[in-house]
């Protein structure tokens, strides 16, 4: 494997868009971070889910994207674009398959659409899929397939904007799908013949992906993320939403030392009100996975995303779910020019999806 230094990556989130590019290290080994740009997006600009993806103001989105790409140091051969998780519907299924299916990807795409979509939607959606494995028994073949679906109209809208901005798009992807490839590239010892959980905590949602020996075996999107945390903090602490967003960074909601724990005893109710619903959803998700797969213990958890940066969160979740948990910061594994300022280095978990798209 390795990294695609010939492309730029764009990760479209609901709270911000992130652009990233890499260069080959001057010493000839590894890569160096070249561009890492975060452009905030107004709330609601990118909205909707799989059935109704929306860009509320096309001219504003085009202007914001144009401003972001104007900051990159160099246009490369093209852009890899990560889409908001809520726009993409991921299916994991066991599918009867024939030699005819395997010989024609278009025919298999049509059959998968017919299986996964209501009749009226089939012509309005794009599908991409990956055959994860094939099992044969008694002259029958069953394929384990991961299929991703998205509405054709939103791809057409995005493509027209990219054409206007003279951006050559190499491909679209789900933002978090590349994180496993990135983890595998940087930490193969965590992935080879092992199970693991990637927990991407974004602005609006938390995306859970569980991999079993390199194959995605379970996925769930929890409709709680950093925006919800900020609103709860705003209510509890009587702050404006922007002040609450800053408080998320400065306040030690998940204490580590004895002194910090003592200081939070009077505020235990606040912790429950801010994070209780999120923790319950995580618990339901993990318990379902354990029950379905007869697992007595969860595999290791790797946290990413801009809303995973709470002080003490990995340690808290590790204790709460009785498993190992760590913050996955890929910037610590590549060369990042910081000029003595670690602020950029600390933003690595926010850029994990865009860096993951550049894994070859």
Helical spans, DSSP H, in 127-212: 152-164, 177-186, 188-191
Regarding whether 141 and 82 lie in a shared domain, the answer is no
| 234 and 310 share one domain | yes
Q: Are strands 215-222 and 206-212 parallel, antiparallel or unpaired?
A: antiparallel
Q: Which of 161, 178, 99 is nearest to 355 (CA)?
A: 178
User: Are 243 and 282 part of one and the same domain?
Assistant: yes
- For helices 268-293 and 313-321, angle between their N-to-C axes, nearest 10 degrees: 50
> Do 219 and 311 fall into the same domain?
yes
Amino acid 281: pLDDT: 97
- 69 and 210 together in one domain: no
Q: Is residue 344 part of a domain?
A: no
CA separation for the pair 69, 325 (Å, rounded): 35
Q: Which residues pair with 37 in a beta bridge?
A: 19
With respect to residue 113, please indicate whether it lies within any of the assigned structural domains: yes
Q: Encode pLDDT of 165-212 as tens digits.
A: 999 999 998 877 788 888 888 888 877 778 999 999 998 999 999 998
How deeply is 9 buried, as exposed, middle or buried, from its count of CB atoms within 10 A (0-12, 13-18, 19+)?
buried
Task: Please check whether residue 305 lies inside any domain of the structure.
Answer: yes
- What pLDDT, on the 0 to 100 scale, is given for residue 239? 85
- Residue 189's CB is within 10 A of a number of other CB atoms, namely 6
The Cα 276–Cα 224 span in angstroms is 11
Token pair recorded at residue 12: 């479209």
Residues of the chain predicted below pLDDT 50: none
Question: Burial level of 170, CB count in 10 A (0-12/13-18/19+)?
Answer: middle
Q: Are residues 219 and 178 in the same domain?
A: no
140 and 215 part of one domain: no
DSSP 236-250: HHT--HHHHHHHHHH
Residue 335 lies in a domain: no
Specify whether the CB–CB gap between 308 and 203 falls below 8 A: no
Pairing status of strand 325-327 against strand 169-174: unpaired
Q: State both tokens at 71.
A: 């900051």
CA dist 159 → 13, 83, 172, 209, 290 (Å): 17, 12, 10, 28, 41
pLDDT in tens, 144-173: 898 999 999 999 999 999 999 999 999 998
**For the chain, percent helix, then strand, then coil, each to nearest 5?**
40, 30, 30
**Helix axes 152-164 and 58-69, enclosed angle (nearest 10):** 50
Residue 125, in any domain of the structure: yes
pLDDT computed for residue 194 by the predictor: 84
Structural domain boundaries, residue 64: 8-87+152-187+351-356
Is residue 286, in this structure, part of any structural domain at all?
A: yes
Shared domain check, 226 and 279: yes
Would you say residue 212 lies in a domain? Answer: yes
CATH number of the domain at 122, please.
3.30.1490
CATH number, position 277: 3.30.420.40
Task: Please state the domain count of the chain.
Answer: 3
């Amino acid at each position: 494997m390795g990294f695609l230094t010939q492309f730029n990556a764009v990760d479209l989130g609901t709270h911000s868009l992130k652009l990233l590019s890499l260069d080959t290290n001057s010493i000839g080994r590894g890569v160096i971070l070249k561009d890492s740009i975060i452009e905030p997006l107004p709330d609601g600009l990118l909205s909707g889910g799989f059935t109704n993806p929306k860009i509320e103001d096309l001219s504003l989105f085009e202007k914001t994207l144009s401003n972001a790409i104007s900051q990159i140091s160099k246009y490369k051969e093209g852009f890899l674009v990560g889409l908001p998780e809520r726009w993409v519907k991921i299916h994991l299924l066991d599918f009867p398959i024939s030699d005819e299916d395997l010989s024609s990807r278009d025919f298999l795409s049509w059959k998968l659409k017919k299986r996964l979509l209501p009749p009226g939607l089939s012509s309005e959606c794009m599908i991409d899929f990956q055959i994860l494995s094939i099992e044969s028994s008694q002259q029958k073949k069953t394929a384990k397939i991961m299929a991703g679906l998205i509405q054709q109209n939103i791809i057409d809208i995005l493509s027209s904007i990219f054409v206007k901005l003279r951006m050559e798009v190499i491909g679209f992807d789900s933002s978090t799908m590349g994180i496993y490839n990135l983890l595998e590239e940087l930490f193969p010892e965590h992935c080879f013949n092992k199970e693991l959980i990637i927990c991407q905590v974004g602005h609006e949602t938390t995306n859970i992906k569980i991999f079993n020996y390199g194959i995605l075996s379970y996925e769930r999107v929890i409709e709680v993320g950093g925006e919800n945390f900020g609103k709860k903090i705003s209510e509890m602490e009587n702050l404006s939403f922007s002040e609450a967003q800053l408080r998320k960074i400065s306040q030690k909601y998940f204490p580590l030392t004895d002194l910090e724990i003592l200081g939070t005893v009077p505020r235990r109710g606040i912790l429950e009100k801010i994070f209780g619903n999120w923790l319950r959803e995580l618990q339901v998700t993990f318990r379902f996975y354990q029950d379905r797969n007869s697992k007595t213990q969860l595999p290791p958890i790797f946290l990413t995303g801009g809303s995973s940066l709470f002080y003490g969160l990995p340690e808290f979740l590790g204790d709460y779910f009785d498993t190992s948990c760590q913050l996955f910061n890929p910037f610590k594994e590549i060369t990042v020019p910081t000029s003595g300022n670690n602020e950029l280095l600390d933003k690595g978990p926010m850029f994990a999806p865009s860096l993951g798209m550049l894994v070859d």
